[in-house]
Structure 1
């Protein structure tokens, strides 16, 4: 449900945009978000079909988010240099082809690789949507276009769960979960062809892509993510610690390289000088914490209600849909709330989010069968509402700490933090979820209780993370006097 902010841009398009051009760009945004959420309801089916472990399924989700996150800034810069419509079309074709590879994956390893590639294609596609909407319209048209985009992304999150659950359950052509990926092939190819209706635009002052920096960051984060996901399965073997040590070395090399690039007048992937601002640094940590709780909860919840309680994918999607409705409603309310209460209103939203998670934990501990699943609804609605109140205004708060000339870089960095946070949230929560699930199995605990116990205990991390984020927002508020 996250939305990266568009970079400020002075370039204007040479043609008047058509309704078809707007529709194609909105479709690009819809597809990337829909695919993120539809996978959640399909995870138990994938796990059963491929015989995948939690770590492997976690990598299917986290790998997509990690590749998407670390390449977002590069995708935006490539569009600025080589043409945003051209990169949009290439990104759409890449997304279609990699979705096809996901759909035909014969095993979990192939699916993970395909998802990494799909995330990379999404990182090329998604920034062009924001940049093109910004340069295609004047101020009034831009507000309308971004309003439609926000509504489209919200609907994509809901459709990903409800429609996605229906598609998986319908088992179209006997393809099961694979159809959620295969359907992207004709849609993506069609959208790429129709993208000719979108006016081309470039930035006159576009900068080059810092490929060495991006390579170091990607390798470092992958070497950290892999042992966190696989560690519990292999008893934290020696290679997991070696991988984490190599990760630390590569991430340190990344920081050294970025500092060197900045000193030499280059164009680093991340301007480390932004972190000298205490408000921006603390706000970045808040974004990382808040977004680390979202994807991990979706994953564990899907396993709880489908593998644990026995709900069908469609029933699971229907159960979670009200949380998305609550998110959309709160997103519309959040700007007015912050305008009235100031930054402290965001802290109130985070506390509401934490209350929803806490209520879910308490509700899950009392589950004993499928009939109790819909007792989770009130907690889910509160969870979604609190998530919208906190996430929606948070990005504007953090970007507001930097000067206007650095807003584009800051927006790209925060968007990356969202995705990387989601990836690592899955790995951290997975450590607790798998350990408790295996422990209860060894003791002969019934399946429903095992999954309920694993979910409730794993979500304690989410609760602590959101409470820590709320405390940081209060600190930011007092420090800035907002």
Structure 2
């Protein structure tokens, strides 16, 4: 996620209060880091819990796809609006509101009686996260001077990386422990006391607003959300229902609403996004690259969790622990990326995308050889390479793409890119699901999937991920040359 997803931020207004790191309460920093941690943790922990949810709720792949994609879609579409609400009404107030909203919507997820109510609750949870998350970045920017800000954002980056790892490993342990007999529901319910406790401490945060902040473009947000929902619904449900007429009607309505969104943004006085930024070819193609790269991540996590647990019979903890080395590879590459880019230039970024594609291809090849859970450890080298390539391509990519716009537009550009990250994740789940479902069902469409088919379904569906990563690598190389020419 981008560290500049807020469209505006002001300079520290009071050096004695907001100047250096030493002037700030350690509790204030801890509360902000906790806010970032829970939003990312809940994105990753659900992947490990999905097989348990599917069995408990009798959910289809489309429904569990909505559980993941709904969170990402709401989070991504509302990120810019969440940042502007903080600019207007105060970041501390919106941070507290986001914490409370995240806790309450997590409660709704934890007590959901069926798949439909869980999907709605996850969409609301993503919306709460979109209110909460931008305030973390904005408050860190105004709380510290330059030196303190670098340290604070370094800690935030480490926290978000740890949240991803914890979501896999700790999440698997929580699900497998079946605390209080709640099974997967506990991964959501623990957010309630954490969020309420953090909300009680927000008084330690300074409040800040952005003078002259523009109003939120709610019509634009509504058109974009409705258009994307009408696109994702048939993509997820179509393979299960045989692509009936309503799916094609939904595609048509989606196209109409997204066209209306673009028309509105061109003439709106306070638009949600500045379409003029897309006139810069490097930025517009870079936005497509971000969507492609991030479309591969969530879909792989989902399908891999189903392969390991429903296909091979691994426990949630074993599945999460197996994937942990990929997260370690990601963090290691993220730390090395600045040095590699400094030495090799942007070739390190498109080279990272190639390594990413190679890691997925290796994972496909190894999956085809699996005969049982005892072979799962053979996947570790491919997972480490996959995670390393992912970190090497994703981490410096955002800086490359945002570098195509002027500094005065950097905040808006970062907001757009952060939105593309989350929408890309939702889009990837939808596209990969088409292949995964068809390959998993095979000739016995509608029957209970044969566990032996999960390997073939995973391998076939991941061909999209390889193709997307290769295309992204080629496009990164192209925009890198364009930037060098400038």
Task: Verify same fold: TM over 0.5.
Answer: yes
Query: Which residue number in structure 2 is paired with residue 83 of structure 1?
Result: 90
Cα distance in 1 for residues equivalent to 2:129 and 2:102 = 6
Query: Which residue number in structure 2 is paired with residue 274 of structure 1?
Result: 277
Query: Which residue number in structure 2 is paired with residue 5 of structure 1?
Result: 4
* Residue 476 of structure 2 corresponds to residue 473 of structure 1: yes
1:318 aligns with one of 307, 316, 321: 321
Query: In the alignment, is the contact (CA less than 8 A) between 2:12 and 2:145 conserved in 1?
Result: no
Show the 5 A alignment for 1:323-338: 323-338=326-341
Cα distance in 2 for residues equivalent to 1:83 and 1:445 = 51
Query: In the alignment, is the contact (CA less than 8 A) between 1:11 and 1:203 conserved in 2?
Result: no
Query: In the alignment, is the contact (CA less than 8 A) between 2:307 and 2:455 conserved in 1?
Result: yes
Show the 5 A alignment for 1:298-309: 298-309=301-312
Query: Which residue number in structure 2 is paired with residue 426 of structure 1?
Result: 429
Query: Which residue number in structure 2 is paired with residue 382 of structure 1?
Result: 385
Deviates more, 1:335-344 or 1:150-159: 335-344
**Cα distance, 1:6 vs structure 2:** 4.9
**Cα distance, 1:480 vs structure 2:** 2.4
Deviations 1:405-454 (A, max 9, x none): 10010000000000000001000000000000001656999934300000
**Cα distance, 1:115 vs structure 2:** 0.2
Cα distance in 2 for residues equivalent to 1:378 and 1:440 = 33
Deviations 1:233-275 (A, max 9, x none): 11000000000100000000000000011xxxx2210110000
Query: In the alignment, is the contact (CA less than 8 A) between 1:6 and 1:134 conserved in 2?
Result: no
2:153 aligns with one of 123, 143, 146: 146
Cα distance in 1 for residues equivalent to 2:336 and 2:443 = 42
3-state SS of 1:481 partner: helix
* Residue 388 of structure 2 corresponds to residue 393 of structure 1: no
Q: TM-score, normalised by structure 2?
A: 0.96
Show the 5 A alignment for 1:402-421: 402-421=405-424
Query: Which residue number in structure 1 is paired with residue 188 of structure 2?
Result: 181
3-state SS of 1:202 partner: coil
Question: Judging changes above 3 Å, is the alpha-carbon distance between structure 1 residues 445 and 408 closer, same or farther for their aligned structure 2 residues?
Answer: closer
Structure 2 unmatched ranges of 5 or more = 18-22
Aligned residues: 477
Cα distance in 2 for residues equivalent to 1:443 and 1:53 = 10
**Cα distance, 1:343 vs structure 2:** 1.2
Cα distance in 2 for residues equivalent to 1:225 and 1:317 = 27
Query: In the alignment, is the contact (CA less than 8 A) between 2:326 and 2:383 conserved in 1?
Result: yes
Deviations 1:114-163 (A, max 9, x none): 00000000000000000000000000000000000000000000011100
Query: In the alignment, is the contact (CA less than 8 A) between 2:94 and 2:131 conserved in 1?
Result: yes
Cα distance in 2 for residues equivalent to 1:36 and 1:85 = 24
Question: Judging changes above 3 Å, is the alpha-carbon distance between structure 1 residues 307 and 13 closer, same or farther for their aligned structure 2 residues?
Answer: farther
1:252 aligns with one of 234, 256, 259: 259
Query: Which residue number in structure 2 is paired with residue 25 of structure 1?
Result: 32
Query: In the alignment, is the contact (CA less than 8 A) between 2:5 and 2:79 conserved in 1?
Result: no
Deviation beyond 4 Å, 4+ runs, structure 1: 440-446
Query: Which residue number in structure 2 is paired with residue 368 of structure 1?
Result: 371
Show the 5 A alignment for 1:115-264: 115-261=122-268
Cα distance in 1 for residues equivalent to 2:102 and 2:447 = 44
* Residue 112 of structure 2 corresponds to residue 109 of structure 1: no
Query: In the alignment, is the contact (CA less than 8 A) between 1:330 and 1:386 conserved in 2?
Result: yes
Query: Which residue number in structure 2 is paired with residue 51 of structure 1?
Result: 58
**Cα distance, 1:474 vs structure 2:** 1.1
Question: Judging changes above 3 Å, is the alpha-carbon distance between structure 1 residues 125 and 23 closer, same or farther for their aligned structure 2 residues?
Answer: same
Cα distance in 2 for residues equivalent to 1:257 and 1:66 = 20
Cα distance in 2 for residues equivalent to 1:55 and 1:443 = 13
Cα distance in 2 for residues equivalent to 1:224 and 1:17 = 45
Cα distance in 2 for residues equivalent to 1:243 and 1:329 = 43
Cα distance in 2 for residues equivalent to 1:430 and 1:446 = 14
Query: In the alignment, is the contact (CA less than 8 A) between 2:5 and 2:83 conserved in 1?
Result: no
* Residue 95 of structure 2 corresponds to residue 95 of structure 1: no
Query: In the alignment, is the contact (CA less than 8 A) between 1:99 and 1:118 conserved in 2?
Result: yes
Show the 5 A alignment for 1:336-347: 336-347=339-350
Deviations 1:64-106 (A, max 9, x none): 0000000000000000000000000000000000000000000
Query: In the alignment, is the contact (CA less than 8 A) between 1:220 and 1:251 conserved in 2?
Result: yes
Q: TM-score, normalised by structure 1?
A: 0.97
Query: In the alignment, is the contact (CA less than 8 A) between 2:40 and 2:160 conserved in 1?
Result: yes
Cα distance in 2 for residues equivalent to 1:68 and 1:133 = 20
